[in-house]
Chains A and B, each alone.
Chain A
Amino acid sequence: AQSVTQLDSQVPVFEEAPVELRCNYSSSVSVYLFWYVQYPNQGLQLLLKYLSGSTLVKGINGFEAEFNKSQTSFHLRKPSVHISDTAEYFCAVSDSNYMDTGRRALTFGSGTRLQVQP
């Protein structure tokens, strides 16, 4: 079984300040890790993904995340946020061995609402 914990339900931050959104996961198998963003009344858009290799991954819109296997974390960061970054952010995991197990579904955290203030 897998689970994802996003410790902060809301993160208020001023424009141009740095931000970190925290994600911890639990899994008995090796995983792929994802961050998705959801703007109001829209679907989920993939921000970035960790599949293998370098633990620091870069995504769209200036976001990056670092995979820490020992701490089972995958925190999302941005050095300087904009008003347009205001949205809900979801961390998700999937079984990396999905081609053999058939278990392809993503397990999501409960989301973190990033509120960027001017």
Chain B
Amino acid sequence: EAGVAQSPRYKIIEKRQSVAFWCNPISGHATLYWYQQILGQGPKLLIQFQNNGVVDDSQLPKDRFSAERLKGVDSTLKIQPAKLEDSAVYLCASSSGLAGAKNIQYFGAGTRLSVL
């Protein structure tokens, strides 16, 4: 079974530029998450999708961040314009969404963003 795929692995941009990250979850997984992991900290949820609908985006800085999962499969996270404090690893995770799966989440390798 293929895991969670993310691209690119690394991205370097200057502040005020825009950037987009892509995630393809495990096949059949209904729930998709984007987490932000700042150096030295644990991951923090940015947004949670159930199929193609947003369930929780309370921690997403909506003035600059946006995310979509149009067909309920892969997802894109965008930052526009980027700030220095957005430098972090952006992790995508997925879970089946079924009760029996006990909310076990599977993570991709992440995209490391450096904003200069």
Tell me the A residues contacting B by CB distance below 8 Å: 4, 32, 34, 36, 41-46, 49, 51, 90, 92, 94, 96, 98-99, 102-106, 108-111
Contacts and interface: CB of A to CB of B under 8 A. Distances in A.
B107 A44 contact: yes
A104 B42 contact: no
Contact of A43 (B41, B97, B110): B110
Given A104-B95, A105-B56, A44 B103 contact: no
A43 B109 contact: yes
B104 A105 contact: no
Interface string B38-72: 00111111001010000110000000000000000
A51 B104 CA distance: 10
B45 A106 contact: yes
B109 A46 contact: no
| Contact size range, B | 20 to 34
B55 A109 contact: no
Interface in B65-111: 91, 93, 95, 97, 99, 102-110
A12 to B, nearest CB: 17
A98 B105 CA distance: 13
A111 B42 contact: yes
A4 B42 contact: yes
B102 A32 contact: yes
Which A-B residue pairs are the 7 nearest by beta carbons?
A108-B42, A43-B107, A105-B45, A44-B107, A43-B109, A99-B99, A94-B103
A51 B45 contact: no
